Amino acid sequence: MQKRVVLACVVIVFLLAACAPAATLAPTAAVAATTAAAPVVATTAAATAAPTTASTSSYTPPQGALAPVPLKVGSQFTGTLAFKAGSAPKIAYMPPTTNPYYNAIGEGIVAQAKTLGATVTTLAAVSDTDITGQMKQFQDVATMGVDAVIMHTHDDNAAAPLVKKLLDQGIAVIIVNSDIPSFPTPVNAVVGYGERKTTEALGEYIAKKVNGTANVGILAGAPGYDSDERVGGFQDAFKNYPGMKIVATLPTSWDQESGNTATMDMLQAHPEINLIVAANDFEAIGSAQAVKSLNRTDVAIYGNDGDTTAMEEIYAGQIQGTSNTTPYVMGEAAMQVTMDVLNGKYPGGWSETPATIVTKDSALQVLCHPETLFPKPAKQYTCQ
């Protein structure tokens, strides 16, 4: 009898919880430069932010982003945060490098932060392979008095214990430019494009463009989740076409120099390669330089990212295409999600940001809208 009474009480508690009103959030602007609203410091009823109580169905995601998708079981941080209601949020942006792509994300973060009354400090590693430097920065940021960290790392396992220490201090952690469903330690949110889905869609476009027949060279990034997912997307697309033969795959350091070197090695060892796909645009830019120096006019090159220089090279015909993952807009979305996390309005999970295929036919439509690009194009382009 006693067990039945206890069970009945538990059921009543859950029913009451299900009927409680959910928090709502007004839509946000996709481009901060066009937002005229005055800075707003978000507030909550309590002095310390409690675990999120928002539901996905009631949450309005940042403009351009989709409704959040739950992370894998055990990967969502639900602990208490130290953010004080009514205070101006202090945010640390921690990219793995200072390349233009991550700078573009940072510009979006800063622009959106201004509309929300937040301040942003950037701590960036010297290069994508400077894992030791980034781990030192994770230790440093714990003493800076920030309320949240927006970060990306190329070594999840090395970063996980340091991320956990931040969370233990009540500092929110938001991963940007990723769709990772199970970071090695729980995090508050993930914001970014679908990496495998995006390169698979581009791979499908490429395969149809070449009538299902090509000798393919793949430029991967440094080993890790990002490279595996992006390369995996190309592989998933090409396996449906027997004529799409993957001849060679080489790693890079995510930059132009290593993309150039890997392409030179690849084409010299396998001159039959006539299509190169890259895990990011910087590799593709370096690859285009190598192809030009070898006088190979028969090699098509595709990247992935949406870097401004890559867009210009696509329009000029040096690179054939890329996936534009809209880094500036992604940064804006990441900042809005961060604010929602601090205020207990974010339901948790991964917020997917836009990605579109860009080729020579569509590159101009991107370049003629420099307000969403960083750095700005080298010259002014007029929309037709």
pLDDT tens, residue by residue, 303-346:
999 999 999 999 999 999 999 999 999 999 999 999 999 999 99
Residues 190-228 have pLDDT tens digits of: 999 999 999 999 999 999 999 999 999 999 999 999 999
Instruction: Express each pLDDT in 57-87 by its tens digit.
Output: 899 999 989 999 999 999 999 999 999 877 8
What SS3 state is found at 148?
strand
pTM of the model: 0.85
Q: What is the mean pLDDT of residues 129-149?
A: 95
Share of the chain above pLDDT 70, in %: 86
Q: What are phi and psi of 330, to 5 degrees?
A: -60, -40
* CATH tag, 23-193+328-354: 3.40.50.2300
Per-residue pLDDT, averaged over 288-298, amounts to: 97
Exposed, middle or buried, 382 (CB in 10 Å: 0-12/13-18/19+)? exposed
Closest listed residue to residue 366, CA positions, set 319, 312, 321 = 312
322 near 166, Cβ under 8 Å?
A: no
- The reply to whether domains 23-193+328-354 and 196-324 share a CATH topology is yes
Number of H helices, E strands in the chain: 11, 12
**Would you mind telling me the total number of residues written for the chain in this entry?**
384
Cα Dmax for the chain:
85
Residue 134 CA neighbour count, 13 Å, CB half: 25
Determine the Cα–Cα distance for residues 13 and 223; give it in Å rounded to an integer.
47
pLDDT at 52: 52
Question: Which ranges in the chain belong to alpha helices (H)?
Answer: 2-19, 100-116, 131-141, 156-168, 195-209, 225-238, 256-269, 281-293, 308-316, 327-342, 360-367
User: What are 148-199's pLDDT values in tens digits?
Assistant: 999 999 999 999 999 999 999 999 999 999 999 999 999 999 999 999 999 9
Distance, in Å, from the CA atom of 256 to the CA atom of 233, rounded to the nearest integer, reads 21
> How many CA atoms within 13 Å lie on the side-chain side of 253?
14
What are the extents of the domains in the chain?
Answer: 23-193+328-354, 196-324
**Class of residue 277 by CB neighbours under 10 A (exposed 0-12, middle 13-18, buried 19+):** buried
CATH number for the region 196-324 comes to 3.40.50.2300
Do 274 and 244 form a contact (C-beta atoms < 8 A)?
no
Chain-centre distance of CA 196, in angstroms?
12
